[in-house]
Every structure is written in C-alpha cells, then in structure tokens.
Structure 1
Amino acid sequence: MMFTSFVPLIGAVALAPMIAAFHRRVTPRLAAHILTATLLLVALAALPSVWIVGLGFVGHLPFIGHLLGWCASAVGLDEPISPLVGVPAVATTVLGSVRMAQVLASYRRMCASRWSPVEVTPEHVPVAYTLPGSAGRVVVSTGLVSMLAGNELDVVLAHERAHGVHRHDRMVLVARLSQAALPVLRPLSDRLLFTLERWADEEAVTAAGGDRRFVARTIAKVALQVSVPVSALAIAGLGVPARVDALLRPPVVYRSSVLLRTIWLAIAVTAVMASYQLHHLAAFVSALCPG
C-alpha cells in the first residue's frame, strides 16, 4: 500500500512539467485551459496520496493512534509509517490547509459585489487591475489615466475587461489553491498565471485593430509604473518582458499536430492516476459513514 499510495503523486508531478513545457506553442486561450486541467488533475492525484500517508502516520502514533487507527485501517495502512515520510505528509496537510483557507479568504475579500464597467479611484499612484468575481469590475486610478494617451488607456481597459469577461479569476483561484496545497506545483501555477496575462494581451491586440507593437509598448510603459494587489488580475502582472517579446512576434496559430495529441495523452494519463485515488477515498468515506 505504501508504494502504491505514492505512484499517482510521483507520476502526476513528473507529467506536469512535460505538459507545461508546451504551453507557449499553442494559443494562450488553449494553453490556459490545458494548464488549468493539468493543475486540477495533478492536485486530485497528489493530494489524496499526501492525506492518506499523513493519516496512516498519525493513526499509528502511541498516544493518539487509538483515536484514528480505524481511519488508517480503512485506507489499507495497517503498518506504521516512517516519520521521515509521515511527518512531511502531516506538515504538508496542515500547512496546506491553512494556506488554502488564506487564499479563499483573500479571494472572497477581493470579489466585486456589484457590477460596474470601470471604477476610477482618486489615487496619484498608477493602478490598473480587475477584481475577481462575476462582476469583473475594472479598477483604474486617476494617476494611470493621466499618464496615458486615450488609445493607450483603451488597450489597458481591453486587457482588464478580458480578465473579467472570460472569468480568469476562477483559473487564478485554481492556481493559487493548488500552489497553497502543494508548493511543488508553483512552477505550473506560475505558468498558468503568465498564460492568462498572455490571453488578455491578445484580446487587447484584437481591440487595438491588430497592432501588436503598439500593445507591446503600452504594456511595457504601464508595467514600469503600476502596482498590483494580491488576488487581482492586472496588465502589469507576471512575466512582462516575455509577454512583450511574444507580442512582437507573429501570433501563435492553432494547428492539430502530434504535439497537441501528446499533450492530451499526458493529461489523460494524469486523469487515470487521479481516478486511481478515488477508491482510497471511497473506502475512507465508507468507513466514516457505514450506513
């Protein structure tokens, strides 16, 4: 049981970088969906492994094991687990739960409760971001408005509106929660956040009539001045130099190819590994609720 508990974790974490490595070779929109699906599946495959091992370790401790021993037996962990494995599993579970609660609290706190196309705040500091939530409210400061020409402000607003229209905040929440639960997923989470900014950049290009160089210059100009609140989506977000470089190149054209088939195959394998854990969770739930 011990080895099989870690098979999905090892396999999923190994497959994730391979999937992520191809994210710049497809359109940002497609890449964002691929990376979101990958994060969800990797988390589903990996987290039960950590929880089960942590539960098995606690269930065999001398002083409190008698309270949780039935849990360990329910998932097939009848033998004591080494502290070298058990302690990190318990720490990851506890700390991850705390971090996930903080992410959710921050998300709820930042959510826009009322719809408003654009909110202009009386701040001299340049600010531009989109609040999470169905309202998708865009916030800009008077400092930003004063430093931009009219067509440059249109680019900023088009970028920020894209975040709200396509509900990028949901994908950001997946990225933040995955990273909070399993810090090893941070590289994959950062790739998703970068890709969401690229998606919004391409939407801004469309709004600007296809002028990629103008959008690139505007993003570079704004990024030098704008600060971004935590949990918000903003034009000055992750990876500005790489985003500007991408805008100065021709747009990526979607083509069905061996590359995409390989990506989907890797995602399918990750999904199988995730589903493998469901029978462990089902056994635990059955023991918890025998009726």
Structure 2
Amino acid sequence: MIFSVWIPLLVPFLAVPAARRLADALPPRPAGWLLAAAATGLALCSTAALGLIALAGALRLPFVAALGNLTAPLDTLPAWLAFPAAATAAALVTLSAAAVIRTVRRHLAELRAARARLRPAGSELAVLRDPNPDAYALPGRPGRIVVTTGMLRTLEPAEREALFAHERAHLLGRHHLFLAAAELAGHCHPGLRPLRAPLAFALERSADEYAAAAVGDRRLAARAIGRAALASRAVPSRPRAVLAATAGPVPRRVAALLDRHPAAGLARSAGARLIAAVLLGCLCVSAGSAIDAAADLHGGIETAQGETGHHWRATGRAGPATPGVVTRTAQQR
C-alpha cells in the first residue's frame, strides 16, 4: 500500500494530456464516451485512494483500533507518514464532497428555475420572448428545446431545423450527464478539470454530426451553427448544466462539418488508437493500484487483528492478558 495507494493520485496528471487529444483524434461520439468514462473512473480511483489513506491513519488511533479489534499496530504506512497523510486525505475528501454537493444543488436549482420560465406545453419546442438570440437543450422529463424569438428571427427556416436537430441530439444522448460527470470529477481531483473543455467539444461535435445527418446537408448545418454563434454575441443567462449550439470553438466545429469525412481517416489511424489505448491503460493502472492498495490494507488489518493469537499458537504459550478482556477459555474454566 505504501506505493500503490499514491498511483491513482498521480495518474490523472499523466492521462489528461492524452485525453485532451481524443476530441480531435476520434469520432465525436466514442470520444465523448471515452472522455466521460475516463474522468469518472479516475475520479473514483483517486477518491478511493484518499479514503484508504485516511482509514490507514485512523486505525492507528487507539479508540478506532479498539473498534476494529486490532491487537497490534497497523504497519501499512510508516508511523511518521500515517497521521499527516491521513489528516490531509480526510480534509481533501471532505472538501471534495462539499464541492460535489454544492455543485449538484446549484445545477438542480438552475434547471428548476429555467423550467419554471417555460409555459406548460406538450410540445418539444419552447419559445421564449427574448430579443437576445439563444437556443439550448433543457434536460428533464420531458426534455425541451428552448429558443428565443431573437434566434428565430436570425435564422432562416432550414437553418432553424438544423439548429433544432442539434439541440435534439443533446437531449437524446443525455449529454448533460456527461458534462456533469466531468465537472464533478474535477471537484474530486484538480488534475481532471481540464477534461471538461474537450468533452464539451466532443459532445457539440456529436450533435453537429447528428444535425447534419438529420437535414441531409453538412453545409446547411455548418451555416446554421455559424450564424447562430455570430448572433449570440452576448450570451444570455442560462443554466450551466445545459449545452448550446453556440458554445465551444465554433470555427473548428464549422470546419469539421465542411469536411466531407471529418473523422474517418483519423479513426483508422494508428495515432488515434494509440491515444485511446494510453487513456484506457491509465484508467486500468489507476483502478488496479486502488484495488491492490485496498487488498494490502485489508491484509494489514487482518494481520493486526490476529498477530497476537498466531504468536501464542506458534509458541504454545498463553499470551499476556489484555486489560478489560476476558477470554473464552477463562470463562469456561
């Protein structure tokens, strides 16, 4: 555990540079899935590592050791390192949990406020009377495509259909959950925060491709997104958890749409496969190290619980009586 428990805390710093290139090296849909899975998995592994460090230090405290029936000191971490590391790990886990809870509450409150602004209706499309051009996908049951009157006046009818298809792709793919996972992962480990931007780009690119296929014209989809982005000079207030067609690096997205085969060559390239393999390898190493550290701690606890008894059985002599503990043999006598 002395070495393996630190690996999940260091791997995110090595995985993020490879993960950020996936948004360009892979097709948008698999890139989004892989980025979200990597962010979630690495966050869970690093949080588990901090929890193991905190537990190893806590088990050195007398009252905690008594609760765990430890009859010998736990030696999974050196004494000089156990208490400072445990205190730091416990503080980091507490701060991360508070940040996650605060973010979830804020996002839910913003989504409730946004849905309260909409008139109850059975249609998927919700139009807001607002001169500022804007459009976004509002998740919920049911999901709604929110568009302002300013955006409707900006786009032509065919361009509106492309824009609506883009936002519909976000709702169908539940892309808000991917983005929320990346943001919460950043609260668990600061090294994972840079993953949110490339993941958002991959999700927008995935919606762009869906819109282009829905309208049957890549140039039309590119023109709709470009005009919508140019019109949205001042972004109106919208929930942070939603995705919008005007977000992210729009010039790169438009250029990708104008390319007839935006990702086919890259998907077959050895570089793309290598980047994906490196990211998956980092995730596997982090998970394996966390599991190895947990097994090591469990073995240390079992040793500390039974070390005295094993010594007595090996020497054939009765060990010293523990104060306040009456053995079963003594009770029988």
Q: How many angstroms does 1:44 deviate by? A: 2.7
2:39 equivalent in structure 1: 39
SS of alignment partner, residue 207 of structure 2? helix
Corresponding position: 1:119 with 2:126: yes
Contact 1:106 1:231 in 2 (8 A): no
Q: Specify whether residues 28 and 75 from structure 1 end up closer, same or farther in structure 2 by C-alpha distance, changes over 3 A only.
A: farther
In terms of Rg, which structure is larger?
2
Question: If the length of structure 1 is used for normalisation, what is the TM-score?
Answer: 0.81
Q: How many angstroms does 1:101 deviate by? A: 0.9
Contact 1:35 1:192 in 2 (8 A): yes
**1:192-207 aligned within 5 A:** 192-207=199-214
* 1:102 aligned partner, one-letter code: R
2:252 equivalent in structure 1: 242
1: CA distance between counterparts of 2:163 and 2:63? 57
2:304 equivalent in structure 1: none
Contact 1:159 1:201 in 2 (8 A): yes
Q: Specify whether residues 275 and 4 from structure 1 end up closer, same or farther in structure 2 by C-alpha distance, changes over 3 A only.
A: closer
Contact 1:222 1:235 in 2 (8 A): no
1: CA distance between counterparts of 2:63 and 2:142? 46
1:214 equivalent in structure 2: 223
2:93 equivalent in structure 1: 93
Question: If the length of structure 2 is used for normalisation, what is the TM-score?
Answer: 0.72
Q: How many angstroms does 1:274 deviate by? A: 0.9
Q: Specify whether residues 21 and 36 from structure 1 end up closer, same or farther in structure 2 by C-alpha distance, changes over 3 A only.
A: same
Q: Specify whether residues 146 and 27 from structure 1 end up closer, same or farther in structure 2 by C-alpha distance, changes over 3 A only.
A: same
* 1:230 aligned partner, one-letter code: R
Deviations 1:14-61 (Å, cap 9, x if unpaired)?
13322332330221112111211211221232221222234445666x
* 1:79 aligned partner, one-letter code: A
Corresponding position: 1:145 with 2:152: yes
1:52 equivalent in structure 2: 52
Q: Specify whether residues 23 and 125 from structure 1 end up closer, same or farther in structure 2 by C-alpha distance, changes over 3 A only.
A: closer
2: CA distance between counterparts of 1:68 and 1:149? 69
Mean Cα deviation higher: 105-114 or 40-49: 105-114
* 1:215 aligned partner, one-letter code: A
1:259 equivalent in structure 2: 271
Contact 1:57 1:80 in 2 (8 A): no
Contact 2:36 2:182 in 1 (8 A): yes
2:161 equivalent in structure 1: 154
2: CA distance between counterparts of 1:131 and 1:170? 12
Contact 1:128 1:138 in 2 (8 A): yes
Q: How many angstroms does 1:68 deviate by? A: 4.4
Q: How many angstroms does 1:216 deviate by? A: 4.4
Mean Cα deviation higher: 161-170 or 265-274: 265-274
SS of alignment partner, residue 237 of structure 1? coil
- RCO (CA 8 Å, sep 6+): is it higher in 1 or 2? 2
2: CA distance between counterparts of 1:67 and 1:5? 24
* 1:205 aligned partner, one-letter code: A
Q: How many angstroms does 1:185 deviate by? A: 0.6
1: CA distance between counterparts of 2:251 and 2:88? 37
Contact 2:107 2:241 in 1 (8 A): yes
Contact 1:123 1:143 in 2 (8 A): yes
2: CA distance between counterparts of 1:213 and 1:116? 26
Identity %: 27
Deviations 1:127-163 (Å, cap 9, x if unpaired)?
3211234532211222322333222322221111110
2: CA distance between counterparts of 1:118 and 1:238? 23
2:316 equivalent in structure 1: none
Q: How many angstroms does 1:184 deviate by? A: 1.6
SS of alignment partner, residue 230 of structure 1? coil
* 2:288 aligned partner, one-letter code: S
* 1:253 aligned partner, one-letter code: A
Mean Cα deviation higher: 153-162 or 214-223: 214-223
Contact 2:225 2:246 in 1 (8 A): no
Corresponding position: 1:21 with 2:21: yes
1: CA distance between counterparts of 2:291 and 2:18? 24
Q: How many residue pairs end up in the alignment?
A: 283
Contact 1:219 1:240 in 2 (8 A): no
Q: How many angstroms does 1:201 deviate by? A: 1.7
